Structure 1
Amino acid sequence: MEKFIHDDFLLETKTAKELYHDYAKKMPLIDYHSHLSPDYIAYNKQFANLTELWIEGDHYKWRAMRMLGIEEKYISGNAPDRDKFEKWAYTVPYTLRNPLFHWSHLELKRYFNIPYLLKPETARKIYDHCNELISTPEFSAGNLIKKMKVKVVCTTDDPVDNLSSHEKCAEGDFEVKVLPTFRPDNILEIDKPEFNKYVEDLAGAASTSITSFETLLEALQSRINYFHLHGCRLSDHGLPYVYSKKFTYKEADSVLKKKLKKETISHDEVLTYKSALLHYLGKMYHEKGWVMQLHLGPVRNVNEALLVKIGANAGADSIGDFQHAEALGEFLNGLNNENSLPKTILYNVNPSDNEVFATMSGNFSSEDIKGKVQFGAAWWFLDQKDGITKQINALSNMALLSCSVGMLTDSRSFMSFPRHEYFRRILCNIFGNDVKKGELPDDIKWAGKIIQDICYYNAREYFNFPSVLQYKSETTIK
């Protein structure tokens, strides 16, 4: 593997190599969107073996294994961990030209210094070598994060979460900031059968009762305040598309009350409620100075049988073909007209929407914020060499790449941080090729500054994470 994952992997020119090794590589990481378990970090989990650390819960790997016809017991089932790993080792050689091939070998190289390819012939040797290291304190959850020079990790958290693990991280000696992200998808899903039960849970978390749209907003504001004191500076929404139907406060209140009475509500009423709530949440985020993330476009849980058997996030999702431009523009404009548009990051999962999202990001600006609305990093199915390149090119051509807040992992795996390296190598290679072709000046210092801004400094400025968590000095917080 030394001839594959080598120092100049993906770097095709002298300038690309210089930009990466002298400028990008040294930058710390701000992982502002992940699905890591805050419990694992807080209690510094020691993983049992490489399967638990690397394969368990990773729907990218699960999806590839299923495509090869591997039995489910070796994927999400109860087969022994060693057998599961050997099935993954069998799968890896078949992932050529899939990002899993690059990611997997980058991760084995960066964490375990494995110098050869993963395949059935090397599986046992790699598994035993890695397990020996995993049993040491250096490979606990917290140390895996520190190993990658991470400064900030933002987890993804429900409004009802008590954030006790985040408190434990903050009160210990863990030098990496572990901050929550407010993800209120469940309270938007008024058309789901479990909605009323979730309203009860939210009311309990906010120590109030929810009987109207007004009391719902008060409960959400209470939880936003709570998250803010715990260092939260981002919200996140995973939606098929933005809800932007015209609404009145009275209409939203009527729809919610009907639902709480277990009365049937129409599709039109569902959209009224979702549009109203998303708008008011945007206003709350603006008041707090938060960043609003909108992950748009997937079709989730397409395989109903797999959903019933395993649950959500099992690897049966797809790219959707929704129309975004008009609704997204109306939603952002509605907040902007009320001087309540928060800093916003737009992520698309359909590559055909690249130009739509890139141009949308330039429509709303602020005199005191660089890149107020961002076209976010290539996401999910697009988080691969071709997808990253296309996102960078669309952003460069139609907005300002120099304002970008860069990469994130969006992962549940503690071994995913090399995705930042992957992005940085691709980014530097694009710049290097442009210099070689004479399309950019051969000014390595200026290009290097832009690279470092994208890799680290823009994110540090944009998110403005707190230096001290306020909840420590609050006596009234639950």
Structure 2
Amino acid sequence: MKKFMDKDFLLSNDTARHLYHDLCEDLPIIDYHCHLSPREIYEDVRYDNITELWLGADHYKWRQMRWAGVEERYITGDAPAKDKFIKWAETLEMAIGNPLYHWSHLELKKYFGYEDILNTDTAEQVWELTRGKLRDPSMSARNLIRASKVQVICTTDDPIDSLEWHRKIRKDAFEVQVLPAWRPDKAMNIDKEGFADYIARLSEVSGVDITDFDSLLTALDKRMDFFAANGCKVSDHGLSGIHYEDHTDAEVNAIIRKRLEGSALTDQEIRKYRAAFMLHQGRAAHKRGFVMQLHYGVQRDLNKRIYRALGPDAGIDAIGDSSSAVEMGRFLNSLEETGELPKTIIYSLNPNDNAAIGSVIGCFQDSSSVSKLQHGAAWWFNDHKEGMTEQLKSLASLGLLGHFIGMLTDSRSFTSYTRHEYFRRIMCDLIGVWVENGEYPADEKRLEAIVKGISYYNAKNYFDFCCNK
């Protein structure tokens, strides 16, 4: 029997152990998509206790605690911080096979030096240990980033954001690049409550009187140029699906006027608007050299009672099934036809879409970039052992795994960087099994290029980040 989470955790053979320990374990991290707060990075925040660090904004954990029947006051309510942590420890005991079990123990080991098991018997001990450690200056936000060997962080930022904290970080000469990422979802979601109010704020920030689609695009372009001037290299879009609907400029101008006047839109009008909006975003990304990230396949805020109490990102989202490989192809082709298809990463929350993504993006690769279109890392409900393995296997079967840009955190926590370790171990084990099964040669030179590339170098080159290593 193997020891629980020892140094060879998830590494099942000698080749896998060599690939991980000798080739990629100590490589830096490029976190090209996350939800960290630039303000907290600038202010170098410290946490009083592990509840603040772990449970303050982690809807992954909230969701599992509700699954365990924990009262909401111990999750997002007013219960004492220590009691909340003990409830999390109780929940974790039952999380066999869940990535949160592994992530929690990886974080305790890496950042707190704790190598035992977190459960109800040890919760008190872990609470005291972590609280004492968190008093040390080495546990500040910036020092956690440094300890994780992070070189680049791309946050997630709205077009109306002033980017104040990014500019302050840059002036402060923090050695880690903290760059904004363009996330214009609120301008795209024309059917959502508050759309008109948001457009009014965008109009004010951009200095453009937004009365129709053309003026909206002018405002967005101005803000996108501002983001580019502040180091932005990526855009990011949260979509229910990658849809395409034929439309004319006149139709889309009429649709947004109708919405700003307070009238409801038909489903077809919403689809036409979103198609026009995303085509412009693709062209705008291409013009500025941004990498466009498309996250789709989500149903958001299903539990309206919790949504009314807590708002979005409360652990009440789920996998959706509104995707269409046909429409994805039409969308990408519309940009390709005019030579305006940017580097693009496509992620689906629905693992059933893996093969569709791989087959569609293979139609749009060209010599302008190595693997110009990427099948994004296993995301959200898929970033566990099976989900990561299936995404890697699908990409390998349909494309070129050796050019994959690898893992990201997609997290709000400064201790989530162990997800890169988790991913690298899973990736090395998969490749190690293939080698030892005789499915790929034990060619050290090529294996080193593949493993180091997926872990670090492919992302560095794909995004053209200026890193030291």
- Normalising by the smaller structure, the TM-score range is over 0.9
Matched letter for residue 385 of structure 1: K
Q: Which residue of the partner structure matches residue 193 of structure 1? A: 193
Structure 2 residue aligned with 1:472: none
- 1:80 alignment counterpart: 80
Contact 1:19/1:444 (8 A) holds in 2 = no
Corresponding residue for 2:124? 124
Stretch moving more, 329-338 or 266-275: 266-275
Structure 1 unaligned residues grouped into runs of 5+: 468-478
Deviation per CA, 1:351-404, whole angstroms, max 9, x where unpaired?
Answer: 111100111221112213001000000001000000000000000000110111
Q: In the alignment, what sits opposite 1:258?
A: 258
- Correspondence for 1:335: 335
**Aligned counterpart, 1:454:** 454
Per mean C-alpha deviation after superposition, the further-off stretch among 264-273 and 333-342 is 264-273
Aligned equivalents of 1:30 and 1:206: distance in 2? 31
Query: Superposition pairs for residues 76-475 of structure 1, below 5 Å?
Result: 76-465=76-465
Whether the 8 Å contact between 2:240 and 2:323 is mirrored in structure 1 is no
Provide the secondary structure at the position in 2 that maps to 1:175: coil
Deviation at 1:466, TM superposition (A): 5.8
**C-alpha offsets along residues 393-443 of structure 1, whole Å, 9 cap, x if unaligned?**
000000110111000000111110000000000110011111111111111
Corresponding residue for residue 476 of structure 1? none
Measured on the aligned residues, the alpha-carbon RMSD in Å equals 1.1
Please give the alpha-carbon distance, in whole angstroms, between the structure 1 residues aligned to 2:366 and 2:145. Answer: 34
Q: Is the 8 A contact 1:231 1:465 kept in 2?
A: no
The answer to whether the 8 Å contact 2:286/2:341 transfers is yes
Give me the whole-angstrom Cα distance separating, in 2, the residues matched to 1:199 and 1:178.
Answer: 27
Residue of structure 2 equivalent to 1:471: none
What is the rounded CA distance, in whole Å, between the counterparts of 1:144 and 1:53 in structure 2?
A: 12
Would you say the 8 A contact 1:145–1:414 is kept in 2? yes
Cα shift at 1:322 = 1.8
Alignment match, 1:473: none
CA displacement 1:103-131 (0-9 Å, x = unmatched): 11011111111010000111111111111
Letter in 2 for 1:124: E
The unaligned stretches of length 5 or more in structure 2 are none
Contact 2:302–2:316 (CA under 8 A) maintained in structure 1: yes
Q: Is the contact between residue 243 and residue 323 of structure 2 (CA under 8 Å) also seen in structure 1?
A: no
Residues 243, 278 of structure 1: 8 Å contact kept = no
Alpha-carbon deviations, 1:61-91, whole Å to 9, x = none? 1111101100000001111101100101111
Any conservation in 2 of the 1:231–1:466 contact (CA below 8 Å)? no
Q: Which residue of 1 aligns with 2:64?
A: 64
Task: For 2:45, give the aligned amino acid.
Answer: K
**Secondary structure, aligned partner of 1:294:** strand
Aligned to 2:344, what secondary structure does the other structure show? strand
For residues 312 and 143 of structure 2, what CA distance do their matches in structure 1 show?
Answer: 29
Opposite residue 201 of structure 2, the aligned amino acid is D
Q: 1:362 is paired with a residue of what secondary structure?
A: helix
Question: What is the TM-score of this pair, normalised by structure 1?
Answer: 0.96
Amino acid at match of 2:433: N
| Counterpart secondary structure, 2:175 | coil
Higher alpha-carbon deviation: 353-362 or 143-152: 353-362
Query: Partners of 1:301 and 1:373 in 2: how far apart?
Result: 30
Cα distance in 1 for residues equivalent to 2:269 and 2:238: 20
Instruction: Report the Cα distance in structure 1 between the residues aligned to 2:119 and 2:47, rounded to whole angstroms.
Output: 23
CA distance in 1, matches of 2:123, 2:424: 29
Percent identical residues: 45
User: Following TM superposition, by how much is the alpha carbon of 1:32 offset from its aligned partner in structure 2, in angstroms?
Assistant: 0.3
Once residues 321 and 261 of structure 2 are traced to their aligned partners in structure 1, the CA distance between those partners, rounded to angstroms, is 35
- Residue 464 of structure 1 and its aligned partner are, at CA, apart by 1.2
Aligned length: 466
- Give the AA of the match of 2:297: G
Q: How far apart, CA to CA, are the structure 1 residues paired with 2:113 and 2:427? A: 24
Distance 2:323 2:257 in 1: 30
> Contact 2:460–2:466 at 8 Å: present in 1 too?
no
2: CA distance, partners of 1:226 / 1:465: 19
Distance apart, 1:324 and its partner CA = 2.0
Whole-angstrom CA distance in 1 between matches of 2:466 and 2:336: 26
SS at match of 2:295: strand
CA–CA separation in structure 2 for the residues paired with 1:173 and 1:323: 43
Shift of residue 445 of structure 1?
Answer: 2.8
Whether 1:25 aligns to 2:10 is: no
SS of 1:346's equivalent in the other structure is strand
Q: d(CA) in 2 for partners of 1:4 and 1:167?
A: 44
In structure 1, distance between residues paired with 2:132 and 2:363: 53
TM-score with structure 2 setting the length? 0.98
CA distance in 1, matches of 2:281, 2:350: 25
SS, match of residue 94 in structure 2: helix
Name the SS for the 2:363 alignment partner: coil
Distance 1:407 1:466 in 2: 18
Alpha-carbon displacement from aligned partner over 1:450-478 (angstroms, at most 9, x marks no partner): 100111111011111368xxxxxxxxxxx
Q: Aligned equivalents of 2:371 and 2:44: distance in 1? A: 36
Q: What SS is found at the alignment partner of 1:390?
A: helix
The 8 Å contact of residues 156 and 181 in structure 1, kept in 2 or not, is answered as yes
